[in-house]
Amino acid sequence: MFSFVAKRLLGAVPTLFVIITIAFFMIRLAPGGPFDSERAVPAEIQENLNRVYHLDQPLVGQYWLYLKSVLEGNFGPSFSYKDYSVTELIWAGFPVSMELGLTAVFLAVIIGGALGSLAALKQNRTADYTIMTAAMTGITIPNFVMAPLLTLVLGVYLRVLPVGGWGDGHELKYKILPVVALALPQIAYVSRLTRGSMIEVLRSNFIRTARAKGLSEWLTVTRHAARAAFLPVVSYLGPACAGIITGSVVIEQIFSIPGIGRYFIQGALNRDYTLVMGVVIFYGVLIILFNLLVDVLYGVLDPKLAHR
Amino acid sequence: MSVTPLDAAGVAMPAQGTSLWTSARRRLMRNRAAMGGLIVLIIIAALAILAPYISAHAMDDISWEDIGAPPDWANGYYFGTDSNGRDLFARTLYGARVSLMVGVLASIVSLVIGVTYGAVAGYLGGAVDNVMMRIVDILYSLPFMFFVILLTVFFGRNIFLIFVAIGAVEWLDMARIVRGQTMALKHREFIEAAHAFGASSPAIVRRHIIPNILGPVMVFVTLTVPKVILLESFLSFLGLGVQEPMTSWGVLISDGARDMETAPWSLLFPATFLAVTLFSLNFLGDGLRDALDPKDR
Amino acid sequence: MLRTRAAFGLSMAFALLTMTSTLALAQDAGQVLRIGNGSEPQTLDPQISENTQDSHIERDLYEGLVVIDKDGKVAPAQAESWSVSPDGLVYSFKLRPGLKWSDGTPLTAEDFVYSWRRAVDPATGSKYSFLYYPIKNAEDIATAVNKDVKSLGVRAIDPQTFEVTLKSPTGYFTRLIGHARFLPVNKAAIAKYGNQFTRPGNLVTNGAFMLKDWTPQSRIVAVKNPNYWDAANVKLSEVDYYPIENQNEELKRYRAGELDVTNEVPSDQVDFIRKDLPGELKIVPYLGSYYMGFNLSQPPFKDNLKLRQALSLVIDREAIVAKITKTGEQPAYSWVPPGIAGYQSQFLDWKTMPMPERIAKAKELYKEAGYGPDKPLNLEIMYNTSENHKKIMIAIASMMKQALGVNVTLVNQEFKVFLETRKEKKATQLFRAGWIADYADPNTFAELLQSDAGLNDMGYNNPEYDKLVKTAAVTVDPEKRIQMLQDAEKLVIRDLPMMPIYDYVNKRMIKAYVQGFDLNILGYFYSKNVTIAKH
């Protein structure tokens, strides 16, 4: 196990290198630059700005410079939020996104897993239909519909929770709606996936054997079925986790949450080269870590898959 | 070990001779929920095709007197009008054309690539799996928006590009799920038995692995369809998706979401159509899974 | 059992949330103003800022020599008076006595010298340094032709007298320096903190308020500056600026009582607002023009004035502002929006013609231009993605189709891609554009259509026009200058390189208890004038 993890972490270096390289050139190939706006500036000023921000050198040269500074742990200043460095912005926003994201994922696994298992055990009965109808509804309603609906009803009409904002970051009332909006579709996803694979697993030979051996239904489900049934959920959740804890653009914009989710879109729209590269690398690291975690979890869920 | 993705791609659909298909079809026909779903889908597709004949107004005609008007049967605005005074009934039906096509085609693209890629990686394991999955990691990490912008810049606007753009991201989840399932199946007795009997690797993947992972795959496809349909509206934002005056459910829903309080009809109707479609697809998917399940055979 | 587990999970999840959370106590609103401010500011460094949301905050934190008051007029601020030499080249500003920075140190004319030099210094990287070009040597310094920043035409005669020497007489100079790019910054703080000088705790300013807290993407808090010269008349104790990009959510927060003033008003909600929140919608003219540019360097619009006229005639601007934008925008028939004191905007001569007559005339012109029912024009309209633009383009397309049978294709692009495409002048035919005045003078519009102007994406090239605008810029006599600019606008209206659609307005929701929140024609407001009434 240890050597497996170590090997994979070592393998992450070339993977990251490829991500940085492709992303760097992709971003620079796109039309438009960080200083373009409806207000066109004289060419000499444009040149001067490029010089100040080192955009006047050949692209390959800039790429090497960027690699060097990344190795030194410096992701450069942001082009669109000029008073902050990319590192500062990510470290200021990530804890916020992560707090909301982890809570949502946690809720999704617990509630979604339980509901999905329940539906599978009661397959084709009322409980199953109710849960799956709810889940499908949850999947159908995108968060850009759900979030405004929540703020409208609970924030404007009933005034029980704030519409948006973050306060000083320590007030529970600002976090409830975003977490709910973030968790609902994930709960639906997880319950749908769990139900599907649980039905599959419950039909398989080893569960039949367990039942034949006289094991109680509860033990059969929790000890044997749940593990195998969670495999596809875990496969899905790995990359999904990386996405959720880096924040959702829609949720963060609607609730005005100071996370990093919006930097993925806003950074790109602003052609904020350094900020986009910063979040791409950050996200890449998380993807690699979570997929590694998933592979480790496979071994836990199904001992036959344990890595040598 | 000579399984190339190409070999496997040709056999992603289980092909065990006609008997499988006939019996599967018979089983599917007996499944009422699945058949009901299929019929609803056919009706929606028919509505989409017949849109110009059954709507009272053209989808791009502006009525300056009826801007943002609520549903009114008397003047033919069954679903009301949008904020440009255009008939939402016609627009919802027209929107079905793009959304159904994108939803189904892009999901199939992601299904074929994802299942093939995931099954091959999971079955072969070792270094091949490692490299293939690192490629997936890389693709996950690349900035999607720039990918889309570059597509529009280099290839202009083309409906085909929508599938490329969506397909390029949506197969990744599928590949990871299939790989996980394949790895779990690989060590099962019946696979090892098939191996012992001398079955070739492509044959094992085709005959034993893929049919046995259809369950989670079908479930995941039904999850992919709504994602893809809504993703299309984001592509429109970047100038790649449908262009005005053409529309799609994704675009209608995101426009409607803005006005949900003052013009709820502009959200309600397209959203209902989308929901009904997804429920139907879901029932059909479940039915297909049951019909093709090797364990029931 | 499953259910108990789920319940346990649920409580765990909320425990996770509460670990970092405490329930907040309701705080006394008092004299606190909470403003929706669009998006996150790029910077609070006034010389580097580019966007309006930055400038709104900066005008509260800093104060320049003059302010542009609520009527759009120049009023004394840090300078209590000024004089101009007879040749219009030398401006001498007398600072108020006893001016101080927020840290209590004295503010002198040297601070303005430092700040203005900093703005044109290429090393600063100011995008807006071109606003300084009327000042002697500014252009040469900003473009690194002249490496001596000290040669800029500004100097401190004594601690209270700041003198500016211009390159040539510039009639709008005092209007120009009301712009936020001319605000002074504190030399000591910059020397000490470098590029971190704008952080709370580091930032030293000279305005009515000073920075207390800044959480990016969430909130900026400014509190009253006791060292401000007019502090006795500043009623507010605190101003909070919230960057809220989503206009619908901003309105909801306003309705829920979380904001006192919004940054924008979504046009789809206007009917609802007029009915349910009467008197809270404030609309004031905004010196900006929303127009459609013709690409004059490519067919079909190259050398085809009649076609341009025909298309311009069939756009029912009244319908667009009444049914689409809905918030009091004015139908536009001129290049320079009306409303600049002393200037007569030049209108298209068919401004008052009724729509049917316009269409009849347009049909004739369309035919003379070589098009007709059997040979319709195939036109591509390009715009950047936005809900508002989309609705307007759809309306324009339908008007052209209905009146003339033009086959219109709408093409939307992501903003920066659009800017690039527009600038290249190759793929565009008819495109959306807009211009908001930098300062309240027609020159800010006139400059734009010069053949060498950066934003002249139409490719308008009329030497006569260029000459008029350039001569006007160096003309001392205000009446002659204005006449030349009016003559120049006449040429634009004749040549029609673009068609004006509407003139912008500034629209905000303002709670009834917020008094003195005045918006001028440039969209400026000064929180120092605001009082929160009892409510």
Query: Which one-letter amino acid corresponds to residue C57?
Result: I
Does residue A121 sit in helix, strand or coil? helix
Q: Which of B62, B243, B263 sits opposite C410 (nearest CB)?
A: B243
What percent of chain C clears pLDDT 70, i.e. is strictly above it? 95
Tell me the C-alpha distance between A170 and A156, whole Å: 22
The whole-number pLDDT of residue B18 equals: 55
Q: Would you say C468 and C488 are in contact if contact means Cβ atoms under 8 Å apart?
A: yes
Averaged confidence pLDDT in chain C: 90
pLDDT in tens, A213-235: 777 777 777 777 787 788 888 88
Tell me the C-alpha distance between B252 and B256, whole Å: 6
Other beta carbons within 10 angstroms of residue B291's beta carbon come to 22
Residue A306 Cα, gap to closest chain B Cα (Å): 10
Does the beta-carbon distance from B216 to A280 stay under 8 Å?
no
Cβ contacts from B onto C, under 8 A: 64
Residue C286, phi then psi, degrees to nearest 5:
-130, 130
Q: Which of B141, B215, B253 sits opposite A284 (nearest CB)?
A: B141
Does residue C172 sit in helix, strand or coil? coil
Residue A209 Cα, gap to closest chain B Cα (Å): 15
The whole-number pLDDT of residue B13 equals: 42
Q: What is the DSSP letter of C232?
A: G
Does the beta-carbon distance from A33 to C416 stay under 8 Å?
yes
Of the given ranges (A42-51, A185-194, C264-273, C457-466), which has the lowest mean pLDDT?
A: A42-51
Does the beta-carbon distance from C20 to A99 stay under 8 Å?
yes
Length in residues, chain B: 297
pLDDT in tens, B253-275: 988 988 888 889 999 999 999 98
Length in residues, chain A: 308
Q: Which residue of B has its CA nearest to C387?
A: B255
Of the given ranges (A162-176, A242-256, C6-20, C466-480), which has the lowest mean pLDDT?
A: C6-20
Does the beta-carbon distance from B146 to A30 stay under 8 Å?
yes
Tell me the C-alpha distance between A299 and A256, whole Å: 40
Q: What is the DSSP letter of A138?
A: H
**The pLDDT of residue C24 is above 50:** no
Picking from A20, A27, A29, A235 by the largest number of B CB atoms within 10 A of its own CB, the best residue to mutate is: A235
Alpha-carbon Rg for chain C, nearest whole angstrom, is 26
Closest CA to B177 of A118, C131, A197, A185: A197
Which two structure tokens, joined as six digits, stand for C236?
Answer: 């507010």
Q: Which residues have a Cβ under 8 Å from the Cβ of A72 and sit 6 or more positions away?
A: none
H-type helices in A203-272, by residue range?
Answer: 205-212, 217-219, 226-245, 249-254, 261-269
Query: Beta C90-95 vs C161-165: how paired, if at all?
Result: antiparallel
Does the beta-carbon distance from A280 to B142 stay under 8 Å?
yes
Give B-chain residues touching A185 at CB under 8 angstroms.
Answer: none
The whole-number pLDDT of residue B189 equals: 76
Q: Which of A114, A163, A258 sits opposite C249 (nearest CB)?
A: A163
Q: Which residue of B has its CA nearest to C382?
A: B239
Q: Which of C269, C272, C395 sits opposite B84 (nearest CB)?
A: C395
Does the beta-carbon distance from B184 to A304 stay under 8 Å?
yes
Of the given ranges (B238-252, C207-221, C454-468), which has the lowest mean pLDDT?
A: B238-252
Averaged confidence pLDDT in chain B: 83
Structure pTM? 0.88
Does the beta-carbon distance from A32 to C3 stay under 8 Å?
no
SS (HEC) of C347-391: CCCCCCCCHHHHHHHHHHHHHHCCCECCECCEEEEEEECCHHHHH
Q: Which of B134, B215, B267 sits opposite A197 (nearest CB)?
A: B215
The whole-number pLDDT of residue A96 equals: 92
Query: Beta C281-294 vs C378-384: how paired, if at all?
Result: unpaired
**The pLDDT of residue B234 is above 70:** yes
Residue A82 Cα, gap to closest chain C Cα (Å): 5
Residue A109, phi then psi, degrees to nearest 5:
-65, -50
Does the beta-carbon distance from A110 to C9 stay under 8 Å?
yes
The whole-number pLDDT of residue B20 equals: 65
**The pLDDT of residue C504 is above 90:** yes
Q: Would you say B152 and C417 are in contact if contact means Cβ atoms under 8 Å apart?
A: yes
What percent of chain B clears pLDDT 70, i.e. is strictly above it? 92
Give B-chain residues touching A209 at CB under 8 angstroms.
Answer: none
Residue B242: pLDDT band (50, 70, 90) is: confident
Of the given ranges (A113-127, B10-24, C121-135, C497-511), which has the lowest mean pLDDT?
A: B10-24
Tell me the C-alpha distance between C463 and C483, whole Å: 18
Q: Which of A203, A235, A280 sits opposite B141 (nearest CB)?
A: A280
**The pLDDT of residue B19 is above 70:** no
Q: Would you say C122 and C130 are in contact if contact means Cβ atoms under 8 Å apart?
A: no
Torsion of CA C395, C397, C401, C402, to 10 degrees: 10
DSSP codes of every residue in chain B? ----HHHHHTTSS--S-HHHHHHHHHHHHH-HHHHHHHHHHHHHHHHHHHHHHH-SS-TT---GGGTTPPPBTTTTBTT-B-TTS-BHHHHHHHHHHHHHHIIIIIHHHHHHHHHHHHHHHHHH-HHHHHHHHHHHHHHHHS-HHHHHHHHHHHH-S-HHHHHHHHHHHHHHHHHHHHHHHHHHHHTSHHHHHHHHTT--HHHHIIIIIHHHHHHHHHHHHHHHHHHHHHHHHHHHHTT-S--TT---HHHHHHHHHHTTTT-THHHHHHHHHHHHHHHHHHHHHHHHHHHH-GGG-
Question: Domains along chain C?
Answer: 34-231+510-532 (3.90.76.10), 286-505 (3.10.105.10)
State the sign of the Cα–Cα–Cα–Cα dihedral A251, A257, A263, A268: positive
Q: Which of A22, A145, A302 sits opposite B184 (nearest CB)?
A: A302
Q: What is the DSSP letter of C465?
A: H
Q: What is the DSSP letter of A304?
A: G
**The pLDDT of residue C472 is above 80:** yes
Query: Which one-letter amino acid corresponds to residue C45?
Result: D
Q: Which of B134, B181, B257 sits opposite A145 (nearest CB)?
A: B257
DSSP codes of every residue in C317-349? HHHIIIIII-S-PEE--SSSPS-STT--PPPPT
Q: Would you say C333 and C347 are in contact if contact means Cβ atoms under 8 Å apart?
A: yes
**Mean pLDDT on B72-100:** 89
**The pLDDT of residue B66 is above 70:** yes
The whole-number pLDDT of residue C29 equals: 52
Task: Specify the higher pLDDT residue, B208 or B91.
Answer: B91
- A148 preceded by cis ω (within 30°)? no
The ipTM is 0.88
Q: Which residues have a Cβ under 8 Å from the Cβ of A300 and sit 6 or more positions away?
A: none
**The pLDDT of residue A19 is above 70:** yes
**Mean pLDDT on C27-48:** 86
Question: Tokens 């104790």 map to which residue?
Answer: C237
Classify residue C328 by burial, with Cβ atoms within 10 Å: 0-12, 13-18, 19+: middle
Q: Which residue of B has its CA nearest to C392?
A: B84
Cα angle A211-A212-A218, degrees, rounded to a multiple of 5: 20
Query: Which one-letter amino acid corresponds to residue A9?
Result: L
Tell me how far CA of residue A144 lies from CA of A148, A253, B254, C36, C532, in angstroms. Answer: 7, 10, 7, 21, 35
Q: Which residues have a Cβ under 8 Å from the Cβ of B272 and sit 6 or more positions away?
A: none
The whole-number pLDDT of residue C15 equals: 53
Tell me the C-alpha distance between B153 and A9, whole Å: 36
Q: Which of C269, C324, C393 sits opposite B262 (nearest CB)?
A: C269
Which two structure tokens, joined as six digits, stand for C513?
Answer: 């208890």
**Mean pLDDT on A69-73:** 91
The whole-number pLDDT of residue A86 equals: 94
C221 beta partners: C213, C240
Picking from C245, C247, C248, C267 by the largest number of B CB atoms within 10 A of its own CB, the best residue to mutate is: C248
Q: Would you say A140 and A219 are in contact if contact means Cβ atoms under 8 Å apart?
A: no
Does the beta-carbon distance from C272 to B157 stay under 8 Å?
no
Give B-chain residues touching C407 at CB under 8 angstroms.
Answer: none
Tell me how far CA of residue B261 lies from CA of A145, A147, A235, in angstroms. Answer: 11, 13, 38
Query: Beta C514-515 vs C330-331: how paired, if at all?
Result: unpaired
Residue B173 Cα, gap to closest chain A Cα (Å): 6
Q: Which residue of A has its CA nearest to C194?
A: A83
Length in residues, chain C: 535
Does the beta-carbon distance from C268 to B85 stay under 8 Å?
no
Which two structure tokens, joined as six digits, stand for B31?
Answer: 């499944």
Residue A6 Cα, gap to closest chain C Cα (Å): 31
Tell me the C-alpha distance between C207 and A150, whole Å: 40
Closest CA to B118 of B180, B74, B192: B180
Residue B199 Cα, gap to closest chain A Cα (Å): 22
Tell me the C-alpha distance between C1 and C531, whole Å: 59
Q: State the fold for domain B100-296.
A: MetI-like fold (1.10.3720)
Does residue C147 sit in helix, strand or coil? coil
Give C-chain residues touching B236 at CB under 8 angstroms.
Answer: 385, 412
Picking from A39, A99, A111, A217 by the largest number of C CB atoms within 10 A of its own CB, the best residue to mutate is: A39
- For B7-14, the CB contacts below 8 A with 24+ separation are B7/B202, B8/B116, B8/B119, B8/B120, B8/B202, B8/B205, B8/B206, B9/B112, B9/B116, B11/B202, B11/B205, B11/B206, B11/B210, B12/B111, B12/B112, B12/B115, B12/B116, B12/B210, B14/B206, B14/B207, B14/B210, B14/B211, B14/B214, B14/B292
Tell me the C-alpha distance between B56 and B63, whole Å: 13
Other beta carbons within 10 angstroms of residue A168's beta carbon come to 12
- Residues of C at the B interface (Cβ-Cβ below 8 Å)? 248, 266, 268-269, 271-272, 319, 323-324, 385, 387, 390-391, 393-395, 397-398, 409-414, 417
| The C209-215 sheet, strands edge to edge | C32-36, C238-242, C219-224, C209-215
Torsion of CA C88, C92, C93, C94, to 10 degrees: -140
pLDDT in tens, C376-391: 999 999 999 888 899 9
Give A-chain residues touching C420 at CB under 8 angstroms.
Answer: 31-32, 36
